[in-house]
């Protein structure tokens, strides 16, 4: 256990000593399990001494007033012992006769002999640990506490086709769990403009408009350009193209973001975290079949004043004249080389 986790565990134990009855059993064991990431999860250790806490049941014939009974903190290197009320061999709901509960309670509290209670707690520790383990395995959120046992994220990633893909290797890229939060859109076989707009709007919290069938110029390589001699593709009305480029509206779309604040606007500029993450989202959702461009709209009241020695970047954050009259939408960014 790291020093930070050890300090947090000690604080948790101190809180338990002050008011044990306010804690929930499963929530408490989950917290202890999360702070003990370097060891096996509770219920999977080969021996009880390999676990951060010992579990037992308080021998009592009364009905349980709360889930937890008491915390006994050992002053030596032994782990603390947590006793509970309800689940176990003792008590009115236990499988053993009540006379056994009364006998163990009498030996423990009246005679100071805890040998029999400690013997039964060997079984209680294992039973409670397995009871917690069964609950934890059914809670998908618990897997986030320990990355090595995050099976739920692996299941969802497999459904989306992202399992085994290195999508978080670059600094500033989209976190892996952000993709999982958009599983409803990414799981679709048919990708559409509405899904892309909803993903971007949800992640960046900005207004998004996707313009389909945007126009762009495609360059024609020199050996494919129409010539009068020595070239097969020059049938009039069939495959004759005049010039070095052709207008295309089938494989290009435009994304309009905004109006944006100055901080959001700067983030989407080349080199910003928003720019990289936007490219990651589009490449994951759309793939490489389509090219795209993004137009940024800056709010009128966020337009910076142009002045010498200021921090404005020429061509990106610089406007000459009155800067507070209208939104600025004259910047278009191309993630790929700009078509000529």
For residue 315, what are its two tokens?
């061509």
Question: Which residues are within 8 A (CB) of 177 and not within 5 positions of it... i.e. 6 or more apart?
Answer: 153
Residue at token pair 């009320």:
85
In Å, how far are 19, 89, 94, 206, 284 from 64, measured between CA atoms?
A: 16, 13, 12, 52, 53
pLDDT tens-digit readout, 277-331: 999 999 999 988 899 999 999 998 888 877 776 667 777 888 877 656 788 888 9
DSSP state of 58: -
SS3 200: helix
Decide: 3 and 38 in contact? Cβ < 8 Å: no
Q: Is the pTM of this model over 0.85?
A: no
For 70-87, what is the mean pLDDT? 82
Decide: 295 and 329 in contact? Cβ < 8 Å: yes
Give me the chain's average pLDDT, please. 85
Separation between Cα atoms, residue 331 and residue 329, nearest integer Å: 6
Count other C-beta atoms under 10 Å from residue 45's C-beta: 15
Decide: 300 and 324 in contact? Cβ < 8 Å: yes
SS3 81: strand
Separation between Cα atoms, residue 118 and residue 102, nearest integer Å: 15
pLDDT tens-digit readout, 171-183: 668 888 899 899 9
Task: Give the domain ranges of the chain.
Answer: 3-146, 152-214+249-333
């Amino acid at each position: 256990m790291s020093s930070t986790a050890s300090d947090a565990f000690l604080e948790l134990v101190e809180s338990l000593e002050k008011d044990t009855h306010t804690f929930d059993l499963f929530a408490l064991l989950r917290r202890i399990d999360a702070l003990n990431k370097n060891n096996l999860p509770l219920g999977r250790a080969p021996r009880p001494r390999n676990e951060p806490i010992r579990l037992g049941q308080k021998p009592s014939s009364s009905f349980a007033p709360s889930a937890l009974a008491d915390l006994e903190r050992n002053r030596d290197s032994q782990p603390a012992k947590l006793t509970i009320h309800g689940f176990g061999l003792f008590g009115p709901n236990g499988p053993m006769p009540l006379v056994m509960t009364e006998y163990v309670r009498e030996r423990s509290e009246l005679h100071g002999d805890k040998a029999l209670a400690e013997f039964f707690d060997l079984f209680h520790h294992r039973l409670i640990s397995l009871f917690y383990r069964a609950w934890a395995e059914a809670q998908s959120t618990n897997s986030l506490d320990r990355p090595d046992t995050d099976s739920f994220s692996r299941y969802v990633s497999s459904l989306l086709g992202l399992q085994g893909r290195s999508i978080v290797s670059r600094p500033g890229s989209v976190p892996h769990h952000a993709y999982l939060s958009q599983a409803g859109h990414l799981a679709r076989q048919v990708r559409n403009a509405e899904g892309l707009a909803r993903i971007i709007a949800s992640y960046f919290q900005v207004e998004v408009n996707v313009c389909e069938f945007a126009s762009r110029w495609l360059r024609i390589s020199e050996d494919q350009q129409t010539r009068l001699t020595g070239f097969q593709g020059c049938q009039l009305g069939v495959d004759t193209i005049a010039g070095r480029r052709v207008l295309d509206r089938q494989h290009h779309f435009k994304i309009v973001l905004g109006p944006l604040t100055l901080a959001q606007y700067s983030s989407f500029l080349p080199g910003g975290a928003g720019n990289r993450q936007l490219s990651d989202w589009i490449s994951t959702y759309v793939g490489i079949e389509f090219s795209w461009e993004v137009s940024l709209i800056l709010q009128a009241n966020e337009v910076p004043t142009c002045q010498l020695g200021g921090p404005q970047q020429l061509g990106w954050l610089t406007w000459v004249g009155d800067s507070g009259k209208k939104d600025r939408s004259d910047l278009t960014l191309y993630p790929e080389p700009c078509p000529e």
